[in-house]
Structure 1
């Protein structure tokens, strides 16, 4: 069956700021306290989406979440008018205000795990919204993420949007940032790689948390009704986690038949290769592109986000294109590696660069911003809402972002009650643009 891999990018929210909330995310920690530019951030993201749409890829939009999120603050005992709550929290618990104001839902790679209809037994596309319970500012995202997915992929004949896994540490789930699908053609059955960092049945101690559990991967494979012979559970290397690879997509990316990864990405590298070959037997011959640590250290891979790139099959191109952040070009080691990579005759034939600097300073590259969803022509035709990028939608979103977003946002600005008013005005306008309905956000339902 003919199918295409769509990218649904997260729109950066109006409260985009550098709160330094993500333990293990080195870029986020380095940027803590700096002044951000929400307007620059959202326009960068929209421009990236437009550029991919322009070269013939199916590009979708995921809406930002309501921030600052007053329901969280009210649950924690703060009361009064909205303005009074913001001011009280900023005085008494500024760390909670940072948590309630994070625009981290922009990183749609953490929105959900997605399995296409070609892999599921019931022939539907399956979504499991990530519970993201390892970090407090992201653990509040799943209900709104599920609402967005259910609104965009509303046709139950073709789509199944599950509830998040239980909010228990045994089932910690970080979404598609720990998932890779390989296939001969997007509409054909493929091999799904679900990557975990810790086994909840054993103790784990480390410099940084291992966010994904083996048990969450097992549960997702069951609820998506995947073929066990075509589903592989792999352990991310402890070395990579300790170096700051908080998700597997910081050290690995794949599409089609190609798996592009760092030598130290997996705990059992040779076992990974053997398992992929077994699972792919009779379907396709996998291409392994391994980056040696002698050429690109883990430190360079993580600071440059070489692997947190999009690996794209562009119409008319014989070989894959790697869409990397500008930081990959600016790092001498990764720039030199990319030049060697494309000079050969391997599956990756070109490297292009995208400017997403506002996202990068918070620890998210091009791959963090997108959720991949394989869709057949019938499934694409059944999408709800106005979320597929077109020239008209690009112009509307560009005007929307330039109109509603602040040029600069310092940490102290989170205490300004007017930011809540501005954010809600932006989201009200967005629900009209994207045809999400008048009751999409909690504040619209109050």
Structure 2
């Protein structure tokens, strides 16, 4: 249900069919269990140049799977299907498998233990099965210099990486020759992670020269750090101009959205409230106003 709704919404955002294709969701079955961008990285010199597509999975529906106390949420078949749908170059597409050890410690997505931007990769030494072979293949296929920053277990345990969401940071380009890390404030408060970040931004071996700490504790308590708070879509200037303008945040739109939140968003919600049929009507009114505010038209079933 969520995938179907997101498909409708994304088609509204990327509505120019000459520039964008929004594919239908994969079938909703165990063979195609897919957690999306959290398990994919594009390795490239520049955003408008070809690169290496790295897909990470943790189960193979047609192979022998490991037994984990946590659900294995990304199938090889889903990643392969996405690659095929996007007609990616097979020679520049790599599928890497997560280790059971990190899954058992709470690495439910690859972006909990790996972050990348362009040709800069920051990751834990226990990220993948046969990790050395994976990176040798990446380097061989990439054919240019890669900035690989591998963090050893002795310097940062998987357990602390998960609790601090060190790797669930955003790594972004601020200029063509500089990058910044947007990290959760937990990484600033912990000496181990703070020291690691200082080492990275002080190094002359990479382009990362800034770190910004943000407080996103509400999201962290629900399993999401800075990287989980965005859907990263790489666009050229021309493509960006083709996005539905109603979804581009401006000062005016920010004020209108803030007003909508203050009007409709409850400060608290009790079990008793959930028994009230008027709550459903209240939600419908709020969503109807939101779709009008964003000029979305009718996208919810109750609006049909």
1:268 has 2:130 as partner: yes
Q: 1:240 is matched with which residue: 102, 114, 120? A: 102
CA RMSD of aligned residues (A): 1.6
* Alignment partner, residue 149 of structure 1: 10
Corresponding residue of 2:29: 168
> Any unmatched runs of 5+ in structure 1?
1-139
Q: How far apart in 2 are the matches of 1:347 and 1:257?
A: 10
Residues 385, 436 of structure 1: 8 Å contact kept = no
Q: Distance in 2 between matches of 1:216 and 1:195?
A: 10
- Over 3 Å counting, the alpha-carbon distance change for 1:415 and 1:349 in structure 2 is farther
Which residue in the other structure is 1:311 paired with?
Answer: 171
Report how far residue 176 of structure 1 moved: 0.5
CA change 1:410–1:191 in 2 (3 A) is farther
1:339 and 1:412 mapped to 2: Cα distance? 49
Question: CA 1:328–1:411 in 2, change beyond 3 Å: closer, same or farther?
Answer: farther
How many angstroms apart in 1 are the aligned matches of 2:245 and 2:279? Answer: 27
Match of 2:162 among 280, 302, 305: 302
Q: Which of these residues, 329, 337, 350, is aligned with residue 196 of structure 2?
A: 337
Give the one of 398, 416, 422 matched to 2:282.
Answer: 422
SS of equivalent residue, structure 2 residue 34:
coil
Distance in structure 1 (CA, Å) of the matches to 2:89 and 2:271: 48
| Distance (whole Å) between structure 1 residues aligned to residue 243 and residue 25 of structure 2 | 21
Check whether the contact 1:194–1:232 (CA below 8 A) recurs between aligned residues.
yes
Distance 2:276 2:81 in 1: 42
* Deviation for aligned residue 1:410: 4.3
SS at match of 1:431: helix
Q: How does 1:343-382 map to 2 (within 5 A)?
A: 343-345=202-204, 346-382=206-242
Work out which of the residue numbers 10, 25, 43 in structure 2 matches 1:182: 43
SS at match of 2:126: coil
Task: Give the distance between the partners of 1:261 and 1:209, measured in 2 at CA.
Answer: 22
- Per the alignment, residue 187 of structure 2 pairs with 328
Distance 1:328 1:418 in 2: 43
What is the CA distance between 1:412 and its match in structure 2?
Answer: 5.3
Gaps of 5+ in 2: none
Q: Is the partner of 1:408 in helix, strand or coil?
A: coil
TM-score, normalization by structure 1: 0.65
Does the residue aligned with 1:225 lie in a helix, a strand or coil? coil
- Structure 1 position 222 matched with structure 2 position 84: yes
